Chains A and B, each alone.
Chain A
Amino acid sequence: AQKVTQAQTEISVVEKEDVTLDCVYETRDTTYYLFWYKQPPSGELVFLIRRNSFDEQNEISGRYSWNFQKSTSSFNFTITASQVVDSAVYFCARRGAGSYQLTFGKGTKLSVIP
């Protein structure tokens, strides 16, 4: 199986601190897609971003930024100036080009303390 590894099980930060969530993936595909999803306490997974394997440009969206490095098979996610509402479980996932199956990591539980 082509795994997605999120080594950080739980992270706690104080509000306004920056935090980076790590994601390392395995793939045998030439073309693949990487995703981040957020799962707040309500349970509903919310899409944050998709990156294509052929596009290593980093992306920033408000307080969120993503660093994609094919050389290290990593797709890390940084939240700048964290807020209490960022508290959730964050999942990294990958999908090969020939499949619609998402493979998720085990998730990182982020707690932002006021």
Chain B
Amino acid sequence: DTGVSQDPRHKITKRGQNVTFRCDPISEHNRLYWYRQTLGQGPEFLTYFQNEAQLEKSRLLSDRFSAERPKGSFSTLEIQRTEQGDSAMYLCASSLGTSNTGELFFGEGSRLTVL
């Protein structure tokens, strides 16, 4: 399967714990995005990477959140000191910079439940 893959698919954690999600984009895609989706809502933008550079960050990305893409390939999203309000689906997407459709390819998401 050559689509966007995310790991883990589900994570249940206690409030105050740290969690990390991993995203492997489509191999030739240089752009990578993180979004968050809560029940009944549309995805909300968190951050964007072009290669290894983090070029855009949402105000939603508080100082408890950090994202990296160290070699311009896979990315990690870490949430420190989780809160119940962090419970959501975390979606990763990738795209090819030369694509003229601007299409984002999404993964199936990592669902976080904070107890």
Contacts and interface: CB of A to CB of B under 8 A. Distances in A.
B89 A43 contact: yes
B79 interface: no
A104 B106 CA distance: 14
Interface residues of B, number: 25
B103 A99 contact: no
B7 to A, nearest CB: 15
Interface in A46-65: 46-47, 50
Contact of B104 (A4, A42, A47, A107): A47
Given A33-B102, A106-B42, A99 B56 contact: yes
A67 to B, nearest CB: 19
Contacts of A99: 56
B45 A103 contact: yes
A104 B42 contact: yes
Nearest to A91: B42
B31 interface: yes
A35 B103 CA distance: 9
B104 A102 contact: yes
B44 to A, nearest CB: 7
A84 interface: no
Contacts of B91: 45
Interface string B55-94: 1101000000000000000000000000000000101010
B98 interface: no
B9 to A, nearest CB: 10
B106 A100 contact: no
Contacts of B109: 43-44
Given A33-B102, A43-B89, A50-B103, A104 B108 contact: no
A108 B31 CA distance: 28
B43 interface: yes
B21 interface: no
- Sorted nearest first, the 8 A-B pairs with minimum C-beta distance are A104-B42, A45-B106, A47-B103, A101-B45, A100-B48, A44-B108, A50-B102, A104-B43
6 contacts: A4-B42, A37-B106, A45-B106, A50-B101, A99-B56, A101-B45
